[in-house]
Amino acid sequence: MSNKDFDSFLKHSLENMPEEIQPKKDLWQGIDRAIDFKVKPKTLNHFTKLSVVAACFAAALLSFNFLSTIQMQSNDSEINNVITMSEIFETQKNALLVQYQEKPALTDDWQAQLDDLEQAEQAIKQALKNEPQNSALLRMLAQVYRQELELINRVHQPKWQQI
């Protein structure tokens, strides 16, 4: 078929084509059924639950970071922030320890490492009593808290076991 024949065939086909095309079936029934179809609620799988826990953990770490970088006006507010940060950390630490109490630890000396971090935490808190407005000490305290939580997570759930 040459270009001239094709052009004339196309022109003839377009002229003879009806202006409105009706579907061969009654589609409205199918559309109604599709709209009325009730979606079954999906059950949360294990990955989704872990994602929620991880998101909460990340939000908590961001709040620690935010709290550690803010410079406070008075000594009382500094002490209250340290106490609040410590309470939040202790809550998260206890939650992780409860979550992992059934899982065996991969190393035996992790408790000694945790004790070392707790000693560093106490030393920083003691220094903060003398200098409550020291932002470097607040950042150090937040870093020690993060390291403690990461240690608990790494010992009980290493990255090479995750998908």
Looking at the fold, whether 107 and 129 belong to one and the same domain comes out as: yes
**Which pLDDT does position 106 carry in this prediction?**
74
pLDDT tens digit sequence for 25-79: 677 777 777 776 665 556 667 777 787 888 888 888 888 777 766 544 445 565 6
Question: Does 67 map to a domain?
Answer: yes
Q: DSSP 3-state helix, strand, coil percentages of the chain (rounded to 5)?
A: 75, 0, 25
144 and 71 within one domain: yes
Same domain, 145 and 101: yes
pLDDT tens for residues 115-162?
Answer: 888 898 889 888 888 887 788 888 888 888 888 888 888 887 755 555
Domain assignment of residue 88, yes or no:
yes
**Residues 77 and 156 both lie in one domain:** yes
> How far is residue 109 from each of residues 55, 90, 106, measured CA to CA in Å?
29, 21, 9
| Per-residue pLDDT at 79 | 63
130 and 111 part of one domain: yes
User: Are residue 72 and residue 137 in the same domain, yes or no?
Assistant: yes
Q: For the range 65-73, what are the long-range contacts, defined as Cβ-Cβ under 8 Å and sequence gap of 24 or more?
A: 65/142, 67/138, 67/142, 68/135, 68/138, 68/139, 68/141, 68/142, 68/143, 69/135, 69/138, 69/139, 71/133, 71/135, 72/132, 72/133
What pLDDT sits at residue 44?
61
pLDDT reported for residue 55: 83
Asked whether residue 31 falls in the same domain as residue 56, the answer is: no
Query: Which pLDDT score, from 0 to 100, does residue 72 have?
Result: 43
Total residue length of the chain: 163
- CB-based contacts of 127: which residues, under 8 Å, 6+ apart? 134, 137
Q: Are 75 and 144 part of one and the same domain?
A: yes
Domain total of the chain: 2
Q: Is residue 55 part of a domain?
A: yes
The pLDDT value given to residue 70: 59
Residue 41 lies in a domain: no
Q: Are residues 73 and 138 in the same domain?
A: yes
The boundaries of the domain holding residue 137 are: 46-161
CA distance 29 to 22: 15
In the prediction, which pLDDT does 37 show? Answer: 64
Beta-strand runs (E) in the chain:
none
- Domain identity same for 141 and 105: yes
Q: Does residue 30 sit in the same domain as residue 64? A: no
